[in-house]
Structure formats: structure tokens, C-alpha cells
Structure 1
Amino acid sequence: METILAPSSVGISELKSNPAAVLAASGDQAVAILNRNKPVGYILTAAAWEKIHEQLEDKEILGLAKSRMADGKKPVRVSLDDL
């Protein structure tokens, strides 16, 4: 049995009949699309996708900051007013 990585799921035929209703009912959470009770995909609202994208960008920026802090160079202090 495959793991469903979403709080809700919908059959592919139900999704085909009314995709807008499925997205509206999702509450900005992922919805697993099932075909013969197996997950074949996931759908997200635009708001949910934007949130995930922002989190990925934040993680990338954090990694960059950590690598710069570990490069052995002396940090330069600045105030927000100077920027």
C-alpha cells in the first residue's frame, strides 16, 4: 500500500467532475488524487503552492547565510539605517 501524503483525497473521476469544488474544500491543503485507491498525483490551491515556494526560498537563503558565516571571514556589522 502506498502512503498518501495529504490530509484528504479524492477519486480521479470526482476530480474530473468538479475540480473547483475539490480545491475549494481543500482548505489550502494538499489533496491526493486517487486512481483505483492508489495515489497518482496531488493538487494544491495557488495559495498553498505559494506558501510552499516561500518556505523553500527561505530554506535556500538560510543555507546561503550559514555558508557565508562559516567561511572564516570576519563579519561586518551594519545597522538597518545604513542599508
Structure 2
Amino acid sequence: MENLLTNKTASLTELRDPKKVIEKAGDKPVAILNRNQLEGYFVPASAVAKIVFTPADPKEVSGLLRKRRSSLKPTLDYLKDK
């Protein structure tokens, strides 16, 4: 089994009643398992509300895009036609 990023888990079957999963979670993410294999994470809104989002500095974003231009080029070329 892979490492989980949370200590709370629930099965896909338990997810049929999301209210119970939310109550069990409190303010923490819940790993959703299917036959002991990680399928994804359920993150309650109360957990996300605690995260402070700050706008990125435009110069920093431009620098990162310049650094990654070669790896982004195939995607950008593909999107030109769309």
C-alpha cells in the first residue's frame, strides 16, 4: 500500500453517505480507498477554508514559464489549433 497524505480513511462504500465522511473527517482530508488501493482524497470545505491563498508575483510567474518553455512547447503548439 502506498503512503497516504492523511491519517483518516474511508471506503468508496462509505462515501455513499458523504455527510458521515465529513463528520468523521472534521477539518482533515480523508483518503478514499477501494479495496485498500488509494483512489483519491476527499477534502472538506472547512479544511480548505484554513488555507491562505496569495496572488503570485507576475515576475515570478514569467520566470517560471520561461524556464519551462521547452517542456510546455508541445502543449502550447497543440492548443494553437483549438
How would you bin the TM-score normalised by the shorter chain? 0.5 to 0.7
The CA RMSD measured in Å over matched residues stands at 1.7
Q: Distance in 2 between matches of 1:10 and 1:25?
A: 9
Q: Distance in 1 between matches of 2:11 and 2:44?
A: 17
The amino acid that maps onto 1:26 is: A
2:14 matched residue in structure 1: 14
Q: Secondary structure at the match of 2:10?
A: strand
Q: Secondary structure at the match of 1:4?
A: coil
The unaligned stretches of length 5 or more in structure 1 are 68-83
Per-residue Cα deviation, 1:30-75 (whole angstroms, up to 9, x for no partner): 00000110111111111111223x1xx24x56xx4xx7xxxxxxxx
Kindly name which structure, 1 or 2, has the bigger radius of gyration based on alpha carbons: 1
* Structure 1 segments of 4+ aligned residues over 6 angstroms from their partners: none
Q: State the percentage of identical aligned residues.
A: 38
The unaligned stretches of length 5 or more in structure 2 are 61-82
Q: TM-score, normalised by structure 1?
A: 0.60
Q: TM-score, normalised by structure 2?
A: 0.60
